[in-house]
Amino acid sequence: MSVSGRKDVGEGSGTRTVFQGEELRRFGDPTLADSLRRIPGISATVNPDGTLDIRLRGMGSGYTQILLDGLPPPRGFAIESLDLQSIERLEVVRVSSADTSARGVAGTINIVLKKAGAGQSNSAKVSVGTEHDRPQADVSGQWNAGTPDLRYGATYSLGHELHVRDGHVELDRADNTGTASYRGTTRDELRFDAASVNPNVVWHANDRTTLSAAATYRWSDLADRTGQKGAFNSLLPFPNSDFELTGTTTFWQLSSTVVHSLEDFSRVEFRLAASRNVRNRSTMLVGSSDAGEVLLNRQIDSRLTDQVVVHRGSYQPIELLGPGHVVKIGYDAELTTRTEVVENVRYLVGTGPNIGGLFSASIDTLATFAQDEWQPYEALLVNAGIRTETTRMRAADPADVDVGTTKTILAPSIKATWQLGSPDRQLHLSASKTIRQPSPRQIIPRRYFSNNNSPVEPDYVGNPQLRAETAWGVDALLEINDRPVSYSVGAFLQRVNDVIVEETSLVDGLWTQSPRNLGPASVAGLTLGFKSNVRKWAADAPDVDIKANFGRNWSAVDRVERPNNRIATQTPTTATVALDYQRSAAFTAGIAFSLQTGGTTWTTNQTAVYRGVRRSLDVFAVRRLDKESRIRISLTNALAQAELEATAFQSPGFAETRLASTHTNRAVRIALEANWR
């Protein structure tokens, strides 16, 4: 009897869960963003800059580490925009280990892209759809060729999307002079076009050496126009506004890996990778009065460049500590840079601050690690390691003022898997120390303008003096895989130090939000998982797979004295239920429901955020036309529930709230898919 990690699709395997690409593509989604909300334990919210904040344990904003093929992508890259056809699998790792990084405070999501391999088929997919009478279309596929020793291939995609979302906004202010209000309607119209290609090659040079290389290139172009029209106003300087954002983004990543086995079967591995994300943006804000008089016309052109360079090496000696020990030692070196050039700020009407110039930030990290995995008893597997990580953060503004911080942490970790009588009953226990680095945006002292500057819509300025957060955590997970059901029960507890919060204050007549460290916080949570098939209960029943997952999260920042305060607006509860029905080999259908609760969260002693409950229902059906082709029809966001968000700011003698409701739309897609050798 031996202990092993189970890696079934969509099932927990201790501290790691694997979702294969076919699982992600069931509902015909074109991009990863559409599929994420159905993955158990993952929630997502939209950041102020429009990017998706992907969360484990309800914690995003850098607490969840996102990797692309095991590498950190540039911070500006929208990982959720990846085409699903290019993804081999999604790995969710809940607990850090010494050899993988100490930066997953809430956990790590690793997106593994498809690679050329023996026996892989070629594929193509053509999909069309509609959302709120706006067309959507994409073409994607995979090509493979080569010999058993040299395999090469590529995935590719083209996509076009049009979206429109209507809503309304309410603002209310009360101070010593009286009250003021605003009521208005909003409309957001978005066009998004994208193309990507991911070539790769794997060469087995001999029985001991394997070399692989992969590249990713993605180009996108967007035009986003947001209009706001006031129906009643006694508050805003310009109740009517039109905001236009246009621009292109180019992303590339190159990586190479060498794996070599020595004569004594020891193993060495080296990896070198570089990535770059460039965003060219032009924005225009036109604000007008109730009578239609233009009060402000501000145009800004900017270029934002994010880069990451990674060099890694590891050595796995055989029986260094004796028989049965698997030792691994190595190093990680990483440099992350951001350069933002505000090329042109023009006020065609009105006046305001000029923020032109060059802003930059760099975060470089050097880590060394050592870990050992061994089996002291037949039913017990232990993995223990230590990692040292030194992080140096610097930021500079157009005046060449260069400031920053340096921090070194020692991050031990230990994981144990105890087999309870049989391989189908396992208890996983772990403890680790992790780190959360600030993002480059958080340390760059550049002012990011709000369209309507106020305490609930403030400008944003980074803080170069930020320190990295550290956290101690313990986890426990019990997995039972018995007939007729499989289920899991888990719990976690963390203590986070130097928590970063976003505080709002009035600076030089402008409401400004900036990050700062605010002491310790506590985090805790429970998870439940369930999986079964109706036929396991009754042999003559329909062939229906049932999967369900539930997560409950708690947190509190010690120095935020308000009730219901949470770290990084943590999502309180997540739940998913999915049913897959297979009538025959030629027909499959499914339905999935996901829930993400919200409520009021005090993020500081003056600022609160409210998010409404979000429910989503998706349906799909697949009909196989022949051995190599099939047609897929899907309906996503069938409930079309409005998204409700509010922000409040309170100080002595002053209070302001902003409530926004945005309608969402159903989407229908039909896709033709084919595979061939």
Give the CATH number, domain containing residue 292: 2.40.170.20
Query: Rounded to an integer, what is the distance from CA 39 to the centroid of its chain?
Result: 12
Average pLDDT over residues 493-516: 94
> What's the rounded Cα separation, in Å, for the pair 143 and 122?
5
Q: What percent of the chain has pLDDT over 70?
A: 96
- Is 84 strand, coil or helix? helix
| Statement: residue 674 has pLDDT above 70 | yes
pLDDT greater at residue 102 or residue 258: 258
| Statement: residue 5 has pLDDT above 50 | no
Q: How many CB atoms lie within 10 A of CB 401?
A: 10
Strand partners, 204: 210
Average pLDDT over residues 228-257: 91
Give the chain's domain count: 1
247: left (phi over 0), alpha (psi -120 to 50) or beta: left
CB 470 within 8 A of CB 486: no
The pLDDT of residue 97 is: 87
> What's the rounded Cα separation, in Å, for the pair 367 and 410?
10
pLDDT-derived band at 94 (thresholds 50, 70, 90) equals confident
| Structural tokens at position 189 | 């119209």
Give me the chain's average pLDDT, please.
Answer: 89
The pLDDT of residue 345 is: 83
Average pLDDT over residues 123-130: 93
The pLDDT of residue 13 is: 46
Average pLDDT over residues 376-393: 92
pLDDT-derived band at 3 (thresholds 50, 70, 90) equals very low
| Structural tokens at position 176 | 């010593």
Segment 429-441, tens digit of pLDDT: 999 999 998 888 8
Across 312-321, 361-370, 447-456, the highest mean pLDDT is recorded for 361-370
Question: Is 5 within the bounds of a domain?
Answer: no
Residue in the block written with tokens 């621009």: 247
> What's the rounded Cα separation, in Å, for the pair 131 and 142?
27
Question: Is 3 within the bounds of a domain?
Answer: no
Residue in the block written with tokens 């780190």: 435
Question: Is 576 within the bounds of a domain?
Answer: yes
CB 503 within 8 A of CB 511: no
Buried b (16+ CB within 10 A) or exposed e, 352-384: eeebeeebbbbbbbbbebbbbbbeeeebebbbb
Question: Is 7 within the bounds of a domain?
Answer: no
Cα-Cα end-to-end distance for the chain = 40
Average pLDDT over residues 589-615: 94
Helix, strand, coil in percent for the chain, rounding step 5:
5, 70, 30
| Structural tokens at position 420 | 């309870």
Taking CA 188 as the corner, what is the angle to CA 182 and CA 194, rounded to the nearest 5 degrees?
Answer: 155
The pLDDT of residue 121 is: 75
| Statement: residue 594 has pLDDT above 60 | yes
The pLDDT of residue 555 is: 95
CB 361 within 8 A of CB 337: yes
Average pLDDT over residues 17-25: 88
| Statement: residue 348 has pLDDT above 60 | yes
DSSP state of 568: G
The pLDDT of residue 243 is: 93
| Statement: residue 623 has pLDDT above 70 | yes
Candidates 358, 366, 361; CA nearest to 440 is 361
Across 135-149, 345-359, 392-406, the highest mean pLDDT is recorded for 135-149
pLDDT-derived band at 22 (thresholds 50, 70, 90) equals confident
The pLDDT of residue 120 is: 66
Question: Is 6 within the bounds of a domain?
Answer: no
Question: Is 386 within the bounds of a domain?
Answer: yes
- The H-or-E segment that residue 104 falls in is none
> What's the rounded Cα separation, in Å, for the pair 16 and 6?
9
Q: Which residues form the domain of 51?
A: 12-676
- The H-or-E segment that residue 445 falls in is none
pLDDT-derived band at 49 (thresholds 50, 70, 90) equals low
**Beta-sheet pairing, 178-204 with 150-175:** antiparallel
| Statement: residue 103 has pLDDT above 90 | no
CB 432 within 8 A of CB 409: no
| Statement: residue 581 has pLDDT above 90 | yes
pLDDT-derived band at 9 (thresholds 50, 70, 90) equals very low
- Is 35 strand, coil or helix? helix
Q: Report phi then psi at 45, rounded to 5.
A: -130, 160
Q: How many CB atoms lie within 10 A of CB 628?
A: 13
| Structural tokens at position 598 | 């919200």
> What's the rounded Cα separation, in Å, for the pair 20 and 23?
5
Segment 156-187, tens digit of pLDDT: 999 999 999 999 999 999 988 889 999 999 99
CB proximity list for 144: less than 8 A, separation 6 or greater: 116, 117, 120, 121, 122, 151, 152, 153
| Statement: residue 14 has pLDDT above 70 | no
The pLDDT of residue 269 is: 95
> What's the rounded Cα separation, in Å, for the pair 440 and 54?
18
In degrees to the nearest 10, what's the CA dihedral of 636, 640, 643, 644? -150
Q: What percent of the chain has pLDDT over 90?
A: 60
The pLDDT of residue 136 is: 92
CB 57 within 8 A of CB 551: yes
Average pLDDT over residues 543-548: 93
Average pLDDT over residues 205-210: 92
Question: Is 303 within the bounds of a domain?
Answer: yes
Whole-number CA gyration radius for the chain: 26
Question: Is 373 within the bounds of a domain?
Answer: yes
Segment 128-161, tens digit of pLDDT: 999 988 999 999 999 988 888 899 999 999 999 9
| Statement: residue 415 has pLDDT above 80 | yes
pLDDT-derived band at 557 (thresholds 50, 70, 90) equals very high
The pLDDT of residue 117 is: 64
pLDDT greater at residue 46 or residue 656: 656
| Statement: residue 4 has pLDDT above 60 | no
